[in-house]
Amino acid sequence: MTRLRFSANLGFLWNDLPLPDAIRRAEVAGFAAVECHWPYDTDPTEVSDALTETGLPMLGINTATGGTGHFGLSACPHQIDDARVAIEQAVGYAEVIDAQAIHIMAGVAEGPAARDAFLSNLQFAAGLTDRTLLIEPLNAFDVPGYFLQTTDQAMGVIEEVGVPNLKLMFDCYHVARTEGDVIPRLEKLLPVIGHIQIASVPDRTAPDTGTLDYQQVFAALRSLGWSRPIGAEYKPGGATEASLGWKKTA
């Protein structure tokens, strides 16, 4: 059986440690890569040094939230300048640490003006970097009012922006909570998926609990030929090491 590879999302795993130390813990725990949410309080050279030391790639970082409760700015029509500052910040940080992708966070917004702002800001980001740009639908239970809520909506945005480096972040947790049909959506959307993340449903804890059967999801990903590291973006509910039993059977 082909073993899948996993990336430690350091926004949740080992998030009590400085980011460079969390990277080192991920390597000791056998992860093949790391990713994070908002690394900007850490000197990027320290992050780069830890990545070089461990040999782990940084799969991705997020654009800044824009403040408590904002969840990004890129679909906020009255904050175009701030959104573009956040995009420039993420691109610059990604260059130093050689992050493979940047998640362009849309923010809480709705309506045609929000969509126009999002499309414009994604075009702006594509003009700054050839790195993969990711957009991710977030479920309305966790993030009420988030602009991007479904994979169909995300596909419409990707098609309209029309740049080759804009991809879908397929978070199985968010898709399951909003749309339910995780495996059929994976099969349909595989060509435009840039990254996959996992967590239990509905509690967002380790993926060996909850209502979504990840053994079936993992089997589907093997059959689809998915070979890139899958992001473990879940809340461990205690010491991260104590939550890693699921990796033994993945």
Which pair of structure tokens corresponds to residue 89?
């910040």
> 7 - beta bridge partners?
33, 231
* Rg (the chain; Cα; Å): 17
Residue 155 CA to residue 232 CA, distance in Å, equals 23
Residue 4 carries which DSSP code?
P
Residue 63 carries which DSSP code?
P
62 exposed, middle or buried (CB, 10 Å; 0-12, 13-18, 19+)? buried
Between helix 151-161 and helix 112-128 the angle, nearest 10°, is 60
**DSSP 3-state percent helix, strand, coil across the chain (nearest 5):** 40, 15, 45
Active site residue 159: no
Of the listed 136, 159, 179, 241, which one is catalytic? 136
What backbone torsions phi and psi does residue 166 show, to the nearest 5 degrees?
Answer: -95, 120
**Nearest 5°: CA angle at 233, between 116 and 66?**
40
180 residue type, one letter: G
Active site residue 160: no
SS3 of 147, please? coil
> 101 - beta bridge partners?
60, 132
Of the listed 46, 159, 187, 233, which one is catalytic? 233
Catalytic residues: 136, 233
